[in-house]
Structures are given as C-alpha cells and as structure tokens.
C-alpha cells in the first residue's frame, strides 16, 4: 500500500481534475449570464492549459516523494 503511483496515472488524474474544475467554472459563469458566448480558441486554450498544468502537477508530485 505504500507504493508510489505511476507517473502516467497521476498526470492523467491531474488533467481530469483540472478539466473538471474548469468546466464547472464555465458552466457557473454561463448560468449567471456573465459568459454568453465563448469562442472556440478560448476553449482550446483552456484545454491545452489544463493538459499542461496536469503534466507539470504530475511531475511535481512524483519528484516530491
């Protein structure tokens, strides 16, 4: 039980977590009427940002142990 998780698994989990949070924020902003239209390039920028943050977070957590 004391094994460190695989690097790929932790990176994927970070990416999924970040994407879920970003999606929840976008839904909240659309529901409040603050965000009426969102261009395609902004969605792609958020997806690429979450993938990059997930990779960096996974590498950081694996090096910390």
Q: What string of pLDDT tens digits covers the 65 residues of the chain?
A: 455 567 777 778 888 888 888 878 887 887 888 877 877 677 778 778 878 877 887 777 777 66
Global confidence as pTM: 0.61
Q: Among residues 60, 46, 52, which one has the least CA distance to residue 15?
A: 52
User: For residue 55, how many other CB atoms are within 10 A of its CB?
Assistant: 15
Q: What's the maximum distance between 2 C-alpha atoms anywhere in the chain?
A: 47
Rounded Cα distance between 65 and 49, Å, is 25
Backbone phi, psi, residue 6, to 5°: -60, 145
């Amino acid at each position: 039980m004391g094994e460190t998780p695989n690097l790929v698994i932790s990176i994927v989990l970070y990416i999924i977590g970040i994407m879920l949070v970003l999606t929840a924020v976008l839904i909240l902003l659309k529901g409040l009427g603050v965000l009426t239209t969102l261009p395609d390039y902004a969605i792609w920028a958020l997806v690429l940002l979450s993938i990059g943050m997930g990779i960096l977070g996974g590498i950081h957590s694996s090096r910390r142990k």
